[in-house]
């Protein structure tokens, strides 16, 4: 069993995706100091209810290990941090939030790639990039449609799920995928459904 410092957030983190954070709460600054003296890893879970500031939140049990890549202190005592999603985990038991959240976790199996999935990967990538192009006319803060992704096919599959213009609960569902095939199929389906909803969200504009 692995014990990880935990950072509950209002967004889901998927393997291969970047995670920029600005840390200012004393308990998470303490966590960052401990991470820096350890292996540079912590867990990220989506908050089910509540907010991350001040504690008292309820958290989903599945999450992603984040590995720290850059740390930049600021003049006002905050810390800008860039981490990246690694393997997935399931929370076995939450420990006391003293001084910050920690949990015993069980790492989930890494998805295995088969070259038979190459057409599925290409099709899902086309769907996601097209959706980003179309939705950029209606929404802000989306990934650019031409964003570069990993050459590794499993990481690329996760990254497509991460950049897809979906809600947090949809991305949480994708995080539970048991195979690359399921991940790619679900990403393409949910993205297509989101694109099909545009005419109802913006009835006066052509989708």
Q: Which CATH number characterizes residue 88's domain?
A: 2.30.130.40
Q: Are residues 98 and 137 in the same domain?
A: no
pLDDT of residue 53: 47
pLDDT digits (tens, 9 = 90+) for 144-159: 999 999 999 999 999 9
Cβ atoms of 162 and 11 within 8 Å: the answer is: no
Assigned domain for 206 exists: no
Cβ atoms of 89 and 107 within 8 Å: the answer is: yes
pLDDT digits (tens, 9 = 90+) for 4-58: 999 999 999 999 999 999 999 999 999 999 998 889 999 999 998 765 545 567 8
Cβ atoms of 73 and 59 within 8 Å: the answer is: no
Q: Are residues 82 and 150 in the same domain?
A: no
pTM of the model: 0.90
Assigned domain for 132 exists: yes
Q: Are residues 25 and 73 in the same domain?
A: yes
How many domains are contained in the chain?
2
Q: Are residues 82 and 128 in the same domain?
A: no
């Amino acid at each position: 069993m692995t014990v990880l410092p935990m950072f509950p957030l209002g967004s889901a983190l998927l393997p291969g995706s970047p995670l920029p954070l600005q840390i200012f709460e004393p308990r998470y600054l303490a966590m960052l100091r401990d991470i820096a003296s350890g292996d540079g890893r912590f867990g990220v879970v989506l908050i089910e209810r509540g907010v991350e500031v001040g504690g008292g939140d309820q958290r989903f049990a599945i999450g992603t290990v984040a590995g720290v890549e850059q740390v930049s202190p600021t003049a006002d005592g905050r810390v800008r941090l860039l981490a990246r999603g690694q393997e997935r985990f399931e929370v076995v038991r939450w420990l006391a939030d003293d001084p910050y959240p920690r949990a015993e976790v069980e790492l989930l199996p890494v998805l295995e790639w088969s070259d038979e999935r190459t057409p599925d990967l290409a099709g899902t990538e086309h769907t996601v990039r097209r959706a980003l192009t179309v939705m950029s006319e209606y929404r802000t803060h989306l990934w650019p449609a031409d964003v570069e992704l990993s050459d590794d096919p499993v990481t690329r599959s996760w990254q497509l799920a991460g950049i897809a213009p979906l809600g947090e609960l949809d991305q949480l569902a994708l995080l539970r995928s048991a195979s690359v095939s399921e991940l790619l199929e679900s990403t393409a389906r949910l993205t297509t459904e989101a694109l099909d909803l545009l005419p109802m969200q913006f009835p006066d504009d052509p989708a």
